[in-house]
Amino acid sequence: MFMRIYFQNPGLMWLLAAVAVQGLLLWGYWRWRQRTLGQLGSPVLMQRLLQGFSTRRFWLKNALFGLALVLLALAVADPRVELSAAEAKGQGADVVLVLDVSASMWAADVSPNRLERARSFALRAVSALEGHRLGLVFFAGDAFAQLPLTTDYAAVRVLLQQAGPEFIALAGTDVGAAIEAGSRLFESSSTAGRALVLISDGEDHEGQGLARVQAVQAAGIRLFTVGVGRPEGISVTGPNGKPLRDGTGALVYSRPNFTLLREVAQVGGGRFLEADAAGAVQALASECDRLQKAAVMLKAQPQYAYYYVWLALGCWILLIVEQWLSWRLYPSST
């Protein structure tokens, strides 16, 4: 079985180019040196003038320096080998995070904007909900599942960090479609408790949010909502910082609809939380911990063997040896 080597900082591998540059400079210097010495006098005279200079030492010192550069470049790239880690069995519920990525989430009534606050809440929720299976849905004018129920929390975090309006082509906000897409991720064969967590500013252009809640509750799914934004609202700016305008040229204004989110949570048998409220993440985690649990396979965090220390040590030793070697041999000459 071959070991799989990963680099934590693969972008720094370009430092290996320094070795190639050193080689080219050294080759150019050596050619210039030989040509210059040939112009100064006969080879016999030059040999007598340069008595004690060791060509072998010259190339050895530069080879050691070049190898030290290679080890240094590899060390800063931080190579590591993933060690085998078996999955462990645990007990958990099934929780689907449904994140609003519509254009209104660019509104900056909370700093830096609603989307960043929603993303921050979701990322903290992932950490608090470890032990449960998590699914992920993004929605705007339509809704699409990004991840099925999984214990691969690293994958959930990666997708959350990339979340944005570009994930959903259809503009607008359809809370009903979001709830329906999230409910489809739950497996009918699972006996685990089910929770759907809707993270949004509450805008619903289609007006079908409440209509979908009763069907979700009938399937045994508790629906929690997390509100993002300020009640007074604000005009919406895009990712480039410029105000968004509608088809008539008027500024797009967005006001969070926490009333809808409260109603959805109440009808859905869950709870409404504000993303900025103290203890909101812990409150959500506590609610999910009270759900019925079933056996789940927990993906173990990978363990790595790190090699940058040994590479750095090798680089240091080579540099010491290179400095210790003299350019000259006494009393012999080459």
The tokens of 244 are what? 């968004």
Question: What CATH number did the domain enclosing 190 receive?
Answer: 3.40.50.410
Comparing 37-51, 97-111, 238-252, 285-299, the range with the smallest average pLDDT is 37-51
Assess whether 150 and 39 both reside in one domain.
no
Within a domain: residue 330? no
Assess whether 151 and 260 both reside in one domain.
yes
The tokens of 333 are what? 């000459």
Q: Of all residues in the chain, what percent are helix, strand and coil, respectively (each to 5)?
A: 45, 25, 35
Query: What's the domain range around 319?
Result: 5-83+304-324
pLDDT reported for residue 332 = 45
Assess whether 115 and 252 both reside in one domain.
yes
pLDDT over threshold 50, residue 334: no
Within a domain: residue 332? no
Burial class of residue 94, CB neighbours in 10 A (0-12, 13-18, 19+): buried
Please, which residues have CB within 8 angstroms of residue 292's CB and are 6 or more apart in sequence?
A: 93, 191, 192, 193
Assess whether 188 and 39 both reside in one domain.
no
pLDDT reported for residue 58 = 77
- Strand stretches in the chain, DSSP E: 5-7, 79-83, 88-92, 94-100, 133-139, 143-150, 194-200, 221-227, 234-235, 253-254, 269-274, 294-298, 303-306
Domains in the chain, number: 2
Assess whether 110 and 184 both reside in one domain.
yes
Assess whether 76 and 157 both reside in one domain.
no
Please state the pTM of the whole predicted model. 0.64
